[in-house]
Amino acid sequence: MSKSQQETIWRVVFPSGDVGLDESFRIAAAPIYGSGRAGGSAVTNEILHSWVKDRTALEVPAGHVYSTGSYYNAFPAAYWAQWTNVQNVTLRMQVSGEAVITVHRSDSRAQDHVVSTVAVTPESSPDTVEVAVPISGMHEGGWLWFEVAAVGSAPVVLSDAVWLADVPANRNLTASLAITTMNKPEWCVRQFNLLANMADMNLIDAIYVVDQGTKLVTEQDGYTEVKARLGDKLRVIRQGNIGGSGGFARGMYEVEQHNESGYALLLDDDTVLEPESISRAIAFANHCAKPTLVGGNMLFLSEPTRLCALAEVFNRKRVFWTTAEGTPKFDDLAARPFLETRYLHKRTDADYNAWWMCLIPVETIRRIGLSYPFFIKNDDVEYGVRAQQAGYRTVTVPGVCLWHQSFVDKDDILDWQAYFHVRNKLIMGLLYSRLPWGGDLFREMMRASMSAAVKMRYSAVTLHQMAVSDVLQGAEHIGSILETRLPEIRAARAAEDDTHTVPFDELPDELLVKSRAEAESAASSGVKALLNQLRPPRRNMHTVIDGYVEPQHAYWYADDAEAGHVISRHAPDVEHALDGLDMVAKNASEHWQVMARMDSAVFVNKEANTGILLWRRPLTAFTRLAKVSVLYARLAFNWRKYQSAYRKEFATLVSPSWWERYFRG
């Protein structure tokens, strides 16, 4: 290809304009775009952000260095080398001022290799710098990036830096966006404006918004104005609440039926896109050797440099989704230099990508169907596994991303979503497990029910019973209750004492003092924890609590000298109640160990300054666990029969004709 025919596949961009939520957000996010230094010292985020001139231009002060060695602006060469037809790339940029440009390459072990060094002199400035780099041997791992050193007495301006491909794309397709929303119209309008202001709208044929709420997108302030800007590309569809799976099924359906686009780009409503990610995802998909689902990473809105997961996989033995081996969860990308974040440099393969952002070829939709009617939970996992079985790979590409509300402080395993966690995991086992009785599935399910009981969340065990009971009624039953089951779940849960939230000052502030040895001798096994749960509780458990519990942390007061005595916290709010307490569990996976030693606790909501009084009820725990155990046993003993039935009905439940019963309403 001639230089004029080379295609831009990766632009280097900076957090300016409408990226993120506000200026403070963009400052906090600066480290994922690049880093700066003077001498041997790194500059602050505030200084780094002050160098940004606009979306594609940066001014590096004299004596300073700017590096694109970062999550968002480095080029993930390993993924392009492995999955696309691109085997050589060219870096092109405009440089004004006296500078030294150094191009770097890493390998799968995060070792740094200098590819090229180019000097820009005052006589040649402004200059177009071009460096060709082969990537054909980088499929195991490695990134490309560059540094700009302002070596003269004046600042250097870097602009229009791009990575170019020297081969034509395998396909030249565009995308339609599919957003599912439920009572978050302000988020949608923000996203629309971001797209109108900063996305390449030549790549976007339509924006389908499936509105399943009562707070309508079309009635939100600012909608009329942004509708005028986006015109006929913005298409809002009203339908009843059939969950995220129903909303995304409708989005897929509309994109396929209108036949305008080669891809459907699924997006959550409560997100903030990095709009350049759309261009990157489409470029990658177009260059892939085979039609490929291209996934985007999630970073936290509350911590803009914290990555949810680099890639996720499906464990068939446990019927569980998890982060890919060797990669952490919730890692802060700003916590260490780029080359010291070693796991980033080895190419990591995914089995699926969550639907906060996932680009799906329309060809795939036509061949394997729409989402399964899970309502919520597992629909994205199931679709990725299904696509994989049909020969379509999912590639989660670093540097394709958005920001989403954090999952860390959510408690959805124990709230109303407990029903969907259990029901849909069982269905995933029926559909995809290759092991007798789903491998470790029933052990995991019993552990989940026992854990809920130990945590005194008996409402969750009730929802587990409802979930297994529905699975036993068959696949068509699951589809038939898509609109009706959620109100019944909420009603069943509302009848339980462990769901009643009250203002914090109405909850007990009398606290039983523990010995430090009690924390160390907390239950070490599920059986021991359950046996502790079944012993008679103390009589004053409704007025004297053992501790406080959050979605992640648990606290109690430990003092060997005062153990067994009661103290009063006199706490006007949650924060004061937790002051001076001992943290006895650092994450939710440790809760059962310490809560097995509690007779009562307050589950706290810091943001709302509210809480739920939980107390131990041995008879309730025993009877509900017995009931759900019987249901699990029924399913296990008839596993092959149910597996055959669910698989037989599967193609029907993901077909457009089946879903139309809900779309026409």
Rounded Cα distance, 246 and 482, in Å: 9
Coil, helix or strand at residue 663: helix
Total Cβ atoms within 10 A of residue 641: 10
Residue 89 has pLDDT above 90, yes or no: yes
Q: Find tokens 């670093």 and name the residue.
A: 398
Across 151-233, the runs of DSSP E, i.e. the strands, are 156-165, 175-181, 204-211
Examine the domain organization and report whether 82 and 195 are in the same domain: no
Examine the domain organization and report whether 477 and 537 are in the same domain: no
Examine the domain organization and report whether 235 and 143 are in the same domain: no
Query: What pLDDT score does 520 carry?
Result: 66
pTM for this predicted structure:
0.95
Evaluate whether residue 159 is within a structural domain.
Answer: yes
Mean pLDDT of 236-254: 97
Evaluate whether residue 152 is within a structural domain.
Answer: yes
Q: Find tokens 């130990």 and name the residue.
A: 454
pLDDT averaged over every residue in the chain: 95
Q: What is the CATH number of the domain that holds 116?
A: 3.90.550.60
Q: Among 165, 188, 221, which residue terminates a domain?
A: 165
Tell me which residue of 311, 529, 494, 302 sits closest to 415, measured CA to CA. Answer: 494
The pair phi, psi for residue 539, each rounded to 5°, is -70, -30
Q: Please classify residue 482 by burial: count the beta carbons closer than 10 Å to its beta carbon, then call 0-12 exposed, 13-18 middle and 19+ buried.
A: buried
Query: What pLDDT score does 524 carry?
Result: 63
Amino acid at site 53: K
Rounded Cα distance, 150 and 63, in Å: 5
Query: What pLDDT score does 2 carry?
Result: 58
The pair phi, psi for residue 29, each rounded to 5°, is -85, -10
Q: Are 235 and 209 in contact (CB under 8 A)?
A: yes
Q: Which of 380, 440, 470, 599 is catalytic?
A: 380
The b/e string for 283-311 (b: 16+ C-beta within 10 A; e otherwise) is bbbbbbeebbbbbbbbbbbebbbbbbbbb
Say whether 380 is catalytic.
yes
Pairing mode, if any, of strands 41-42 and 35-38? antiparallel
Rounded Cα distance, 218 and 236, in Å: 8
Amino acid at site 15: P
Total Cβ atoms within 10 A of residue 328: 12
Tell me which residue of 375, 321, 316, 329 sits closest to 352, measured CA to CA. Answer: 321
Q: Of 75-84, 464-473, 520-529, 537-546, give the lowest mean pLDDT range.
A: 520-529
Largest Cα–Cα distance in the chain? 87
Query: What pLDDT score does 560 carry?
Result: 86
Rounded Cα distance, 67 and 12, in Å: 11
170 vs 317, residue with greater confidence: 170
Q: Are 358 and 265 in contact (CB under 8 A)?
A: yes
Mean pLDDT of 517-533: 71
Query: What pLDDT score does 517 carry?
Result: 80
Residue 527 has pLDDT above 60, yes or no: yes
Q: Of 40-54, 299-313, 434-448, give the lowest mean pLDDT range.
A: 434-448
Coil, helix or strand at residue 228: helix
Examine the domain organization and report whether 569 and 474 are in the same domain: no
Residue 584 has pLDDT above 70, yes or no: yes
Q: Of 65-79, 187-201, 254-268, 573-587, give the lowest mean pLDDT range.
A: 573-587
Examine the domain organization and report whether 243 and 122 are in the same domain: no
Evaluate whether residue 291 is within a structural domain.
Answer: yes
Q: Are 541 and 601 in contact (CB under 8 A)?
A: no
Query: What pLDDT score does 193 carry?
Result: 97
Rounded Cα distance, 403 and 376, in Å: 20
Q: Are 493 and 459 in contact (CB under 8 A)?
A: yes
Strand partners, 392: none
Question: What percentage of residues in the chain have a pLDDT greater than 90?
Answer: 86
Mean pLDDT of 514-529: 72
Tell me which residue of 309, 281, 274, 279 sits closest to 30, measured CA to CA. Answer: 274
Domain that holds residue 517: 501-616
Total number of domains in the chain:
4
Residue 1 has pLDDT above 60, yes or no: no
Examine the domain organization and report whether 141 and 205 are in the same domain: no
Examine the domain organization and report whether 580 and 631 are in the same domain: no
Examine the domain organization and report whether 157 and 100 are in the same domain: yes
Examine the domain organization and report whether 374 and 273 are in the same domain: yes
Query: What pLDDT score does 249 carry?
Result: 98
Query: What pLDDT score does 522 carry?
Result: 63
Q: How far from each other are the two terminal CA atoms of the chain, in whole angstroms?
A: 52
Query: What pLDDT score does 182 carry?
Result: 96
Q: Among 112, 147, 165, which residue terminates a domain?
A: 165
Tens digit of pLDDT for each residue in 261-271?
999 999 999 99
Total Cβ atoms within 10 A of residue 543: 12
Mean pLDDT of 94-109: 97
Query: What pLDDT score does 409 carry?
Result: 63
Rounded Cα distance, 465 and 37, in Å: 58
